[in-house]
Structure formats: structure tokens, C-alpha cells
Amino acid sequence: MASIFFFILAILLSSRTSGATSRGGGLFEASAVEKHEQWMSRFHRVYSHDAEKASRFEIFKKNLKFVESFNMKTNKTYKLDVNKFSDLTDEEFQARYMGLVVPEGTSSLDSHKTVSFRHENVSEIGESMDWRQEGAVTPVKNQNPCGCCWAFSAVAAVEGIMKIAKGNLVSLSEQQLLDCSTENYGCNGGLMDKAFNYIINNQGITTEDSYPYQESQQTCDSTHSAAATISDYKTVTQNDEEALLKAVSQQPVSVAIDGSGAAFKQYDGGIFDGEDCGTNLSHGVTIVGYGMSEEGIKYWLLKNSWGEQWGENGYMRIKRDVDSPEGACGLAKLAFYPVA
């Protein structure tokens, strides 16, 4: 009799647990449906038919679950949130919103530029620097679904050095690079050093107002007058965050980074620790500062090109002085800066 009693008790407990799990899953499903509707309204997302909405909801639900599970962790220095990318798979996101094309090895990079480093003798480095406060950073821009992060990264660095050297902050044309920098591949990717090469060889780059961004590669228009020029560019000593710090203390710097992780995609604020990413460089951004949090965590300040609704109003703070020489997400592997 006792064995029968315990058998029945086990079945009852199993049934109760299964029901609770089912109810929990049902609650998440209902919550996800509501949050998807709110998200569609917030980001003005309209689907062409019910089948597309259903498939995109499944992707959204997966991303939402990742965000909510991550934010339950108490030992993290940053938070995630659903954003305009949350109904895209990681593969779709990378194809549309990144676009860095890095040559295999460093042999294809200009050798004299890889060994020269203009700021190597800098001795005075403050505890923090924010080039936005110095008026050397234009408002956050948005590349939208065109893989030309390389152009936005390069332009932000040129805008910065022009302000520092000449005194005027002028928003410059990514579209000119997209159309005319033939060493790069338009929306199919590129690299910042080739964009700098174009500006040098073309004897300048024009303003964004005169050559506005179109979100796709167009025919090169060479009739615009130059609003900014550079004489050269340099490559920061690779895998050396101290060298990178010296450079950023003097001007904004274009860097390559691994932005492919799910947490990077849905970063909402705080100091990103880089544990979600590797060092497979996929995205171009601009480091416009550095500092230390109240908790004593050192960070870099990145300007991205995904609009102000991503991250901290379009920016990311990412951990500095990590154990790996490549830096968090590989940001110290490949960094360039223009010379006025």
C-alpha cells in the first residue's frame, strides 16, 4: 500500500510541476505578444502580411527572452533592451548594419603606416577625455541597412581632427565615401584606412549638407568642393591599449570591433564587458573618449552609427584595460587616425 501511495503522490507532484511550467510558458507567450505589439508601435514597424509578422514575432520572442534572462543577472555592469534590431536574426543584423572588410593578416596594410605612431611620445594623459565636451563630435548618425560602418567611422575621426586642428566642427559626407572610395565596396563593406586614402588622394571631402546620405551606393559626384582635408593617416600600435589611450587623448580614433554578439546588438547602457564577443572584427566605430565609472571600472567611449535609439543615445561605454591584449571585442587590434 505504501508503494502505491508514493507512486500516486509522485504523479500528482509531476502533474502540478508540469502545469506550473506550462502556465509560466503561457504567461511569457502572452507577455511577448503584447510587448511585440508595443515594440511595433514604438519603432513604426509594419509587416506586409500575417505570415511575415508571425515569423518575425518568433525572432522577436527569442531576442526578448535573451534580454530578459540577461537582465536578471545581478553581476553585470550593463543592461540590455529590445530595440529596432530585435526582430532580426543575428545573421541578418550583421549583414545589414555592419560591413567591415579586413584584409587577411597585416601584410596588405601599408607597412610604413603600421609601424609609425604619431602619438607614441605623449606623456600627459588625463584620467578622462570626452571629445564631445570639446566640441569635436557631431551628433550620432544612422547608417541604416547599408554595410558602410567604415565610412561613418572614418568621417567621425576626420570631423574630430578638423575641429581640433582648424577650430570648426563640420558634419562631413559619408555618401561621398560610399560612392567614390573605389577601394571599398559601398554597402558591401570596407575599411577606414582606404576611406582615408580616398580623402588624401581626392584632396578633401565635402559636407554632409552638400552631399547627403542616401543609404545606398550611388554614382560618384566629383563636383563638390572640399570642406576638409587630411595629409595622412596613421595606424595605432596593434594590440596595445596603452598606445590606443595615447592616441585617443589627442583625437578621436577609428577602430574595428567585433559587434556581432547578441548582447552588443541589444546593448542599452552601462559598461559593456565584452564577454559576449570575440575578436573577429566585423564593425567600424569611433572612440571619442575614455574614463572611469564611480565603481572604478575603466572604459572607452564609442560613437556608433546605429542612431540615437541604440545604447546610451547612440554611444557605448566598453571596458578598458582588459586581460586580453586585443582589448574588449578586439578593439585594439586595428585602429587608425587621420593627420590634419
**Rounded distance between C-alpha atoms, residue 192 and residue 285, angstroms:** 10
**Rounded distance between C-alpha atoms, residue 267 and residue 83, angstroms:** 9
**Rounded distance between C-alpha atoms, residue 113 and residue 20, angstroms:** 63
List the alpha helices (DSSP H) in the chain.
Answer: 2-42, 50-71, 90-97, 111-115, 149-166, 174-180, 192-201, 241-248, 262-265
Distance from chain centroid for Cα 308: 12
Catalytic residue status for 149 = yes
Residue with grid cell 560618384, as numbered in its chain: 220
Contact 154, 184 (CB under 8 A): no
> Could you say which of 187, 277, 304, 329 is catalytic?
304
Catalytic residue status for 283 = yes
> Could you say which of 149, 180, 187, 329 is catalytic?
149
Q: Are strands 315-319 and 267-272 parallel, antiparallel or unpaired?
A: parallel
3 state SS for 248-288:
HCCCCEEEEECCCCHHHHCEEEEEECCCCCCCCCCEEEEEE
- For residue 120, the tally of other CB atoms under 10 A from its CB is 13
Residue 170's contacts (CB-CB under 8 Å, 6 or more residues apart) are: 159, 162, 207, 227, 228
Residue with grid cell 584595460, as numbered in its chain: 321
> Could you say which of 187, 277, 283, 329 is catalytic?
283
C-alpha cell, 326: 586585443
Calculate the dihedral angle through the C-alpha atoms of 141, 143, 145, 150, rounding to the nearest 10 degrees. -150
* E strand or H helix at 291: strand 283-292
Q: What are the residue numbers of the active site? A: 149, 283, 304
